[in-house]
Amino acid sequence: MSEIRTREELSVGIDIGSTTAKVVVLEGSRVIYEKYERHFSQVREKTKEILSEVRELVGDRSLTAAISGSAGLGMAEAAGIPFVQEVYATGEIIKSLEPDTSVVIELGGEDAKVIFFKGGTDERMNGTCAGGTGAFIDQMAVLLDLTVEEMDKLSLESHRLYPIASRCGVFAKTDIQPLLNQGAEKADVAASVYQAVVNQTITGLAQGRKIEGKVLFLGGPLYFCKGLRKRFAETLKLPEGMAVFPEYGRFAVAMGAAMYSRKTGTEFTYDGLLTALDKKPEQEALSSNRLEPLFKDEKEYMEFTERHKRAAVEALNIDDYSGRAWLGIDCGSTTTKLVLISEDNKILYTYYSSNHGNPVDVVREQLIEIRGRCGDRIEICGSAVTGYGESLIQNAFKVDTGLVETIAHYTAAKYFQPDVDFILDIGGQDIKCFKIKNGAIDSIMLNEACSSGCGSFIETFAKSMGYSVADFAALGLHGKAPVNLGTRCTVFMNSSVKQSQKEGATVEDISAGLSVSIVKNAIYKVIRASSARELGEHIVVQGGTFLNDAVLRAFEKEIGGEVIRPSIAGLMGAYGAALYSKKFEESTLAGERELREFVHKSKTAICKGCTNNCHLIINTFADGRKFISGNQCEKGLGLESSHREIPNLHEYKRNYISDLKGKPGKRGKIGLPLALGIFELAPMWHALFTELGFEVVISDMSTRKTYEKGQFSIPSDTACYPAKIMHGHMEELIEKGVDAIFYPRITYNVDEKAGDNHFNCPIVAYYSELLKGNMDNLSKVEFLYPYLNINSRKGLERTLYPCLSEYDFSITRAEVKAAVKKGFEAYDKFRRDVMEKGEEAIKYARENGKRIMILAGRPYHIDPEIGHGIDKLAVQLGFVVVSEDSVCQLARPKKTRVLNQWTYHARLYRAARFAAENDDVELVQLVSFGCGIDAITTDEVREILESRGKFYTQIKIDEITNLGAVRIRLRSLIGAIEEKGGMAG
Amino acid sequence: MKEQIYIPFTKEMKKDYTILIPTMLPMHFKMIISVLKTYGYKAELLETQGTAVVEAGLKYVHNDTCYPAILVIGQFINALKSGDYDPHKTALVLFQTGGGCRASNYIPLLRKALERAGFGYVPVISFSLAGLEKHPGFKLTLPKLHAMMYALLYGDLLMTLVNQVRPYERERGTAQKLADVWVNRLGSQLGRGNMISYRKIKHNYLEILKSFAEIPVDKREAVKVGVVGEIFVKYSPLGNNNLEQFLVDEGAEVVVPGLLDFMLYCVYNNVMNYKVGGTGYMTHVFSNIAFKFLCRKKSDMIEIMEKHGVFEPLTHFEETIKQHEGYIGIGTKMGEGWLLTAEMLELAHSGVKNIVCTQPFGCLPNHICGKGMMKPIKEHNPDVNIVAIDYDSGATKVNQENRLKLMLANARDNMERASAMEKTS
């Protein structure tokens, strides 16, 4: 050591994340300054602002500096300041500060990172699909109408957790909104949001590595949210003291950057650093990827506003009116709308507001207001409610009738444009489009859960940039060069925006760009149109999002034509409901006193009716009436199911497979994981192995728990849910103590001679490779996954025998031969039974005047957790439900436009043809999120159906558990069929 | 439903139609075009880039379809609309391998898209060894295939050499310039006629090697980064946001396995199909002959590289095959299948410890062969540093580059540590 103590080295670490800026100044190893602030995308300004506080501290000493963080890259490049990748920076600082750490979990605004230290350092970041984390929590707080702090506090008071999809904000919203609308406690929802983040982090990043030992939690969200910490510690079952939330958690990256800067050898003075930061990126990047402005000049803008002023409804002053009136309520996903109309359809009263996560209270207040204003002068003769909260509101306030949203919107649109042939409605969370032919809804398209970059996105975005929605939209009108943001989902848009900010885009250009991408998303992703001609001649656009002129203009520009936007674009559902309720003469709607005395309590329970264990929400009203929601079937309602005898092929197949029981045999237990291809071949393998003297153990039908059991070993978080749930089935079989598990690799599926080829999809064919490589627990059993040829007895015998004789030397070729024979017999019987049952079901439907629904997908979509009980819902709605593989034999195989090379899909095309050829048959296609192959099949199935004027309905399913959206979709279908007038029902 | 009737490419068309071919690897494909020209075709390589291409793709192709399909189809439609070609005198070529992956549907998807865009009359030629469709004006004869095979071999050699020289060249761009000169020269040689002398080809290999060895370089230590993945996004700068350029700018030496390996993989699958699936004995026999032949050709080139001794030679395909053992089955053959896993391991074992595994977002086979194999690969080779990058119209460069930077930071660290260890020992 030197005698003369020089002052210790001075270093500045700057960490610019997606939402916050963090600055740390180190002197030696001591932190002498730290600051954490949101930057509202003003990255450069915020950094300089923070640094200005450091001036005195630093003086004229020389210092080293480095920038880190995803939003800091551009700034660092332009300024010529060293950049260090943030995960790397974290790893370095933790290694020096807390060398005994085994795992670091860091959540940022949009990134999640995990670093494993023990047994080979491994640094991981979430993939591009994993969605936000901090941003996700922010979004959810907005949805709950809470600040992040309030949400955190509430979450600590929770009593129970709801399953919420955490893949991205959009999915989660689909889960949360109905929960709120049905009256779930905010505290429970808040805690569930945190749990979703935890699950996402674990499945997305741990990927099979166990999170144990000393775990350090870093980053803003984990620093601020106590509830989130709690969920992490509990889920990971970390013992006391092993879950560490250090004080410097928010600053780890900035500290790492400061440390790193000492290795770079570049020194700055304070002034030098600031001057460097002033350098902006080259202007070149600006010009790329921009769009035309929304308006060429002021004149064009004036014409536009004039034209749209014309589509208005006359309003009357409610205080001057007396006579009869009708009320429409639209209880939507994020907003509640009410409209009161007069005898001649003029508007007396309107209300439009966010429902603040509690629609019941909002509606009650408004009804009191309306009743008060009406007094004795105005008599409300009828009322109708539509939207997500339809049944709850109808029950709570004795509204005369409920109607499905699509019908409400069509009723309203017709009022403005009697010849309307196309309606596009973009709401807070939904995009709905319908084509109208001959006065009836001809086809309906709704956005799938994944592509809903809708209104609420603009709202959240405007807020995050510090603007109100209206101001933000107004800015967009005058953007000179709108940013091209792509048409992917919300999360991707977020990062597109980030990138454009890096390139220096203005708020105006971003706002305009967002409007354009929302429009493109609707036209190309939801409607799947490639030109304006395909939409229609008389287009009405509506929904709250179209009140945004920028969106309206972007839409007209994109289709190259003019459309009608009613002045009450945001109220069309409610207006339509009001028009619809005019068929009533006398209303049952709750009176003023009743409303004042109205008390509403909600509590939660778990239905014990069956193994689904639905989470019920029981709403109790003051007069003792009850309204129960969350149930997948009617048992939860305390009613005996009256649908027991209605054929449901999904149910039939489930029972068929569940009845395959093993019997003890000389060769021990062999397990079949009931997922993916096993759903098709279980009868074959069951008979075959039973014949060979194995006790066959088939894992149970999935529940959410099954998924959770296996979620730790999933390496690819964008794979489909039916694949990911496989991991849970494997774990279950291992727990059940089987000696071996069998999931063969089968490239070619059964050849039913109905297509160009007969492949399995890559996931069904080869998932066992992935299981073998990623599930450590598999070493506890023998895993048998031979390549098999299942297209002939000989082929199967030849390919199966080597594997089996290696497993058990005593198994002879002759035995395998006999077993294969049994296996094929059982499989053929299964297929025959299913097809016979399908034909019986159709006969039953025709004899009893019922509609038939082909609930089509893959064999594994019958799983109650994957299919979410949609089959039961369809039965409840009055359909006889058959599966694609029970009716495909009824249509001749025909050449398809696409390459028809997968067995399961060939069945799908034939089933679609059967539906196309029969008036009383509808087809609803179940599509798992992430199924690449269905990007091809859906268009083809739609074409087959629409060629004969049939509706095409697609339901995208993932981990989502709430059936609200599905119910609306199926009811829309029914409504549309009824309007078409084709069916008795 | 109307029946799908494809528009055949007739002998008449051959006279005055322009055939458009999408780029994947510019050098390889330019030489292939030279070969086609020999046979009287007016062929042209589409090298368009930019948002217009993506936009056209998103407009006419289901947005959840894989990114390469969106790009390639977008490129075609964009070209047909550009006015640079007479759509009534234009035909399109799309390469096709077949198999259980959804990529086998590119041709039907392209035809659907063309129809929607009003170009339903444009003939689409599926360039496939399986030969599913008949196009009287476009037949793949043995001499044609023979010449194209050399285009691939040359292309792989040039690509490898450019990659090996580029990070160290004294003057930026020298290696690529030299390669371009070779592409022109070799292309016109291949395009000169039917007689290809193998001796001349082997002589060319040596001349190429010599010319690259003469490029002035400064030796320094550079991080080696291997690029593997789905065939299109692995190679095409359009598909991977100029990944190679990014890595080069970061000072890395890029290692990309050759295109011939993918061809060999396809042929080998036909050989093995008989063994793992139990079908196709005749295919097995013929494929085996083709496989042996192609392996021999590759080996000849490797031997010349070894003898020349300056550059890191390519790996014999037989060696690549062996890599799969203990990780993934040889019958796992959809998409890039076992080859992807094998290539990662081959890279790791040949000293390229840093790997970028590229795939289109939601690529089905790569869930298994790419991401699904990373855990076992890392377990057995703890020093391997792999990052998986998804490509998609909505994925942003910032996001991708941030992940690549993480991989590079660790790569540099590992390199420093290794050289420090060397010094102390």
Q: Which run of H or of E encompasses A436?
A: strand A431-437
Specify which residues B92 forms β-bridges with.
B20, B124
Q: Helix/strand/coil (H, E, C) string of A385-418? A: EECCCHHHHHHHHCCCEECCHHHHHHHHHHHHCC
Which of residues B139, B167, B196 is at a domain's end?
B139
- What domain range is B395 assigned to? 221-258+316-425
Disruptive mutation site among A899, A901, A940 for chain B (greatest number of B CBs within 10 Å): A899
CATH number 3.40.50 is the correct assignment for the domain at A835-980: yes
Do B229 and B362 have their domain in common? yes
User: Could you tell me if A504 and A286 are in contact, meaning their C-beta atoms sit under 8 angstroms apart?
Assistant: yes
| Contact at CB, B402 and A766, closer than 8 angstroms | no
The confidence score (pLDDT) of residue A162 equals 84
Assign 3-state DSSP to chain A and report helix, strand, coil percentages, each to 5. Answer: 45, 20, 35
**B77 lies in a domain?**
yes
Structure tokens at A559: 């289709």
CATH number 3.20.20.100 is the correct assignment for the domain at A318-416+579-596: no
Strands (E) located in A281-346: 323-331, 335-342
Structure tokens at A460: 């959240």
* Whole-number Å distance between alpha carbons of A200 and A718: 11
The ranges of chain A annotated as CATH 3.30.420.40 are 10-98+255-281, 103-245, 318-416+579-596, 422-563
pLDDT of chain B along its 425 residues, tens only?
344 568 889 989 988 999 999 989 999 999 999 999 888 899 999 988 887 898 889 888 887 788 999 999 999 999 999 999 999 999 999 887 767 777 778 888 999 999 989 999 999 998 876 656 788 888 888 888 889 999 999 999 999 999 999 999 999 999 999 999 999 999 988 877 667 789 999 999 999 999 999 999 998 889 999 999 999 999 999 999 999 999 999 999 999 999 999 999 989 988 887 776 656 788 888 889 999 999 999 999 999 999 999 999 999 999 999 999 999 999 898 889 999 999 999 999 999 999 999 999 888 899 999 999 998 998 899 889 999 998 987 677 777 888 898 899 889 988 988 888 887 77
| Contact at CB, A530 and B328, closer than 8 angstroms | no
The confidence score (pLDDT) of residue A2 equals 40
CA distances (Å), A146 to each of A158, A180, A230, A363, in order?
15, 13, 20, 20
A chain contacts of residue B413, beta-carbon cutoff 8 Å: 88
Q: Which of A604, A638, A614 is nearest to A864 (CA)?
A: A614
Residue in B65, B367, B410 closest to A88 by CB: B410
| Contact at CB, B372 and A129, closer than 8 angstroms | no
Structure tokens at A106: 């860091």
Q: Which of A501, A483, A464 is nearest to A71 (CA)?
A: A501
- Residue ranges of alpha helices (H) inside A861-963 are 864-867, 870-876, 884-887, 903-917, 934-946
**B72 lies in a domain?**
yes
Distance from CA of A289 to the nearest CA of B (A): 7
> Residues A635-662: what's their mean pLDDT?
79
Lowest mean pLDDT among A610-614, A668-672, B167-171: A610-614
* Whole-number Å distance between alpha carbons of A941 and A882: 17
- The label of the residue with tokens 């709250």 reads A544
* Whole-number Å distance between alpha carbons of A98 and A248: 12
CATH number at residue B394: 3.40.50
3-state secondary structure of A334: coil
Do B130 and B36 have their domain in common? yes
Disruptive mutation site among B102, B270, B369, B380 for chain A (greatest number of A CBs within 10 Å): B102
Q: What is the DSSP string of B110-126?
A: HHHHHHHTT-TTS-EEE
Disruptive mutation site among A18, A170, A769 for chain B (greatest number of B CBs within 10 Å): A769
The confidence score (pLDDT) of residue B126 equals 84
Residue in A493, A759, A936 closest to B65 by CB: A936
Q: Which of these CATH numbers, 3.40.50.1820, 3.40.50.1100, 3.30.420.40, 3.30.450.40, describes A103-245?
A: 3.30.420.40
**B229 lies in a domain?**
yes
3-state secondary structure of A432: strand
| Contact at CB, B375 and A943, closer than 8 angstroms | no
Q: Is A468 exposed, middle or buried (0-12, 13-18, 19+ CB in 10 A)?
A: exposed
**B407 lies in a domain?**
yes
Residue in A715, A895, A932 closest to B371 by CB: A715
Which of residues B76, B104, B139 is at a domain's end?
B139
| DSSP-assigned letter for residue A133 | S
* Whole-number Å distance between alpha carbons of A855 and A633: 17
User: Could you tell me if A452 and A431 are in contact, meaning their C-beta atoms sit under 8 angstroms apart?
Assistant: yes
The ranges of chain A annotated as CATH 3.40.50 are 835-980
**B321 lies in a domain?**
yes
**B160 lies in a domain?**
no
* Whole-number Å distance between alpha carbons of A630 and B158: 63
The confidence score (pLDDT) of residue B33 equals 92
3-state secondary structure of A343: coil
Residue in A496, A719, A899 closest to B108 by CB: A899
Which residues in B43-55 are b (16+ Cβ under 10 Å) and which e? bbebebeebebbb
- Residue ranges of alpha helices (H) inside B3-85 are 11-16, 26-38, 51-60, 67-82
Number of domains, chain B: 2
CATH number 2.60.40.10 is the correct assignment for the domain at A10-98+255-281: no
| Contact at CB, B390 and A289, closer than 8 angstroms | no
Q: What is the DSSP string of A821-853?
A: HHHHHHHHHHHHHHHHHHHHHHHHHHHHT-EEE
The CATH number of A422-563 is: 3.30.420.40
A chain contacts of residue B325, beta-carbon cutoff 8 Å: none
| DSSP-assigned letter for residue B91 | E
Distance of CA A820 to the CA centre of its chain: 43
- Residue ranges of alpha helices (H) inside A859-933 are 864-867, 870-876, 884-887, 903-917
Do B41 and B131 have their domain in common? yes
Distance of CA A251 to the CA centre of its chain: 32
Specify which residues A425 forms β-bridges with.
A432, A542
Q: Helix/strand/coil (H, E, C) string of A706-739? A: HHHHHHHHCCCCCCCHHHHCHHHHHHHHHHCCCC
| Contact at CB, B378 and A120, closer than 8 angstroms | yes
Residue in A125, A795, A936 closest to B105 by CB: A936
CB pairs under 8 A between A and B: 223
The confidence score (pLDDT) of residue A985 equals 35
Starting at the edge strand found earlier in the chain, the sheet holding A626-629 runs A600-606, A615-621, A626-629
Which of residues B89, B107, B139 is at a domain's end?
B139
